[in-house]
Amino acid sequence: MKSFVRMSYPYILWIGIFVVAPMIMILLYAFTRGGNSTLTIHFTLENFGRFFSDPDFMRVLWTSLRIAFITTVVCILIGYPAALFIANLPERRQTLMILLITLPMWINMLLKTYAWRGILLNFDDMSSEIKVFIGMVYDFLPYMIIQIHTAIAKLDRELLTASYDLGADKWKSFLKVTLPLSIPGIISGVTLVFLPAVSSFVIPKLLGGGNYVLIGTLIENYFLVAGDWNFGSAISLIMALIIIAAMYFTRKIDRAAEEE
């Protein structure tokens, strides 16, 4: 059986080339200046200085975080009741509902966003920010519902029965039993919504029109239009660090909730 271990070696080589090396490239570009050859690398922090000293870039960063945050909150507000109601259905209808909710997730996101563009043409005076919101909430809502539903469905029904027996009404049982125990579901929903929402650039471009810039749009521009890979790498590194920090904090909240 030990000889089977060798089967993992080709893959270890593969991730060395296609996962580790690209990450090192991003780091290398982010901390160097453009135009220098591989032999004379000059490390510099000026890419980061340029980003943080420019109010325009800070505004873009702020808008991206704000949109991702509001999208996440709206997904929780719409998704939580949906997940809860689904979990209360008889088992067969529950499976059907989950199937119905996951089915559109298999359809190309660009095509769905394109359809939204058509629908939103009917609302001429809607601001581009609202349009971007609708597109984002639409795209991420199913993930939130699925995650929360999984957490609630795992719940031990006996706990609720016990809570009723002890005299708590429906509302109180929900607040004291179901809600706290479903927090891990909300947390994993948040990681599936907030993180991709921060870096999204397709939805803002297709629904927000040309002048709606988020941090993903910036990265796209610096790589594919301006050709400034150093600055583009620095921006994506900043974004990745913010995302890692956000993940760290959500995990902490998760752990704190569990301890309670």
Token pair for 221: 């521009």
Q: Is 41 in the site for another protein (CB under 8 A)?
A: no
Q: Is 171 in the site for another protein (CB under 8 A)?
A: no
The distance of closest approach from Cβ of residue 235 to another protein in the complex, given in angstroms and rounded to an integer, is 10
Choice from 52, 62, 114, 249 touching another protein (CB under 8 A): 114
Q: Is 8 in the site for another protein (CB under 8 A)?
A: yes
Q: Which stretch binds another protein (CB under 8 A): 39-47, 114-122, 149-157, 176-184?
A: 114-122
Pick the closer one to another protein by CB: 55 or 210.
210
Contacts of the segment 223-227: beta carbons below 8 A, 24+ positions apart? none
Rounded distance between C-alpha atoms, residue 161 and residue 140, angstroms: 33
The size of the interface with another protein (CB under 8 A), counted in residues, is 76
Q: Which stretch binds another protein (CB under 8 A): 44-52, 100-108, 154-162, 179-187?
A: 100-108
Pick the closer one to another protein by CB: 144 or 151.
144
Task: Restricting to residues 55-94, name those near another protein by CB under 8 A.
Answer: 78, 81-82, 85-86, 88
Task: Restricting to residues 189-248, name those near another protein by CB under 8 A.
Answer: 195-196, 198-199, 201-202, 205-206, 216, 219-220, 223-224, 229, 232-233, 236, 239-240, 243, 247
Task: Restricting to residues 129-168, name those near another protein by CB under 8 A.
Answer: 138, 141-142, 145
